[in-house]
Amino acid sequence: MGTTVSIDVRDEGVPAAALDAAVQTLRELEARFTTYRDDSEIKRIERGELQLADAHPDVREVLDACAVLRAESNGAFDAWRDGCLDPSGYVKGWAAERAADILRASGATRFALNLGGDVICAGESAAGVPWRVGVRHPAEPSRMAFVVGIRDGAVATSGSYERGDHIVDARTGRPATDWRSITVVAPDLATADAIATAALAMGVNGPTWAAERPSCEVAAIGQDERLWTTAGLERARLN
């Protein structure tokens, strides 16, 4: 998926094979969904070589979820744009949750899975201590804009400072530039990742739209570097 993964398990007795299986699942999903390989199912559907009805059930599930997000965002988020199919704004978080499910099934109750800076947190990092998830400052790579404490939830950030203006408002075809970044805390990473991406694409009203999504807390950094947060996210901040 063009990024890195790290897994930090704090439980004792979780077999190493469970971590291997989680990483292998991510590799298999990458092969199915990547836009960087011509033989992936996503690229074959894009070229019309594979019909959606004949695709793997995972592909149908993800694209159905993307269609729902398109409707909820009034078209700002769209996996199809200019003849190209790219569900990356949803599938990364969804794939991470599949890997986390493998860890949970192995007995892991206290872990953090970080996929490209988007994080799933299970339990606590230590007794009475939440996992600390830092969100990078958009103008200073070595500095955190803020840190949140998370127990049993997920954090995803969508922004332009890592890969440039790669998030586009599908309604206009123009890059989303109203916000430097939008961070969403949600019960699962599929939701957090998708809502953060869609909110950034929506533009000026994106953070308030994201805050209206069920069980989502939001932080947004403007072009002037001012920080906007929901009350719930402000309570979760550790600095």
Provide the residue-wise pLDDT of the chain in tens; the chain has 239 residues.
778 999 999 999 999 999 999 999 999 999 999 999 999 999 999 999 999 999 999 999 999 999 999 999 999 999 998 899 999 989 999 999 999 999 999 999 999 999 999 999 999 999 999 999 999 988 888 899 999 999 999 999 998 655 555 678 788 878 778 899 999 999 999 999 999 999 999 999 999 999 999 999 999 999 999 999 999 999 999 86
**Residues paired with residue 221 on neighbouring β-strands, in sequence order:** 181, 227
Number of domains in the chain: 1
Phi, psi of 134 (to 5 degrees): -95, 145
Q: What pLDDT, on a 0 to 100 scale, did the predictor assign at position 28?
A: 96
Selection from 64, 61, 6 nearest residue 29 by Cα? 61
Q: Tell me, what amino acid is at 116?
A: G
Q: What pLDDT, on a 0 to 100 scale, did the predictor assign at position 2?
A: 74
Calculate ∠ Cα 62-44-20, nearest 5°. 55
Torsion angle of alpha carbons 30, 36, 39, 41, nearest 10°? 50
Task: Note down the domain range covering 30.
Answer: 5-236
**Residues paired with residue 144 on neighbouring β-strands, in sequence order:** 136
Asked if 155 and 132 touch (Cβ cutoff 8 Å), the reply is no
Selection from 30, 22, 45 nearest residue 99 by Cα? 22
Q: What is the Cα–Cα distance from 80 to 135, expressed in whole angstroms?
A: 29
Domain holding 41: CATH number?
3.10.520.10
Selection from 133, 232, 139, 119 nearest residue 181 by Cα? 139
**Tally of CB atoms within 10 A around 95:** 26
- Distances, alpha carbon 69 to alpha carbons 40, 41, 66, 184, 198, in Å: 23, 21, 5, 15, 8
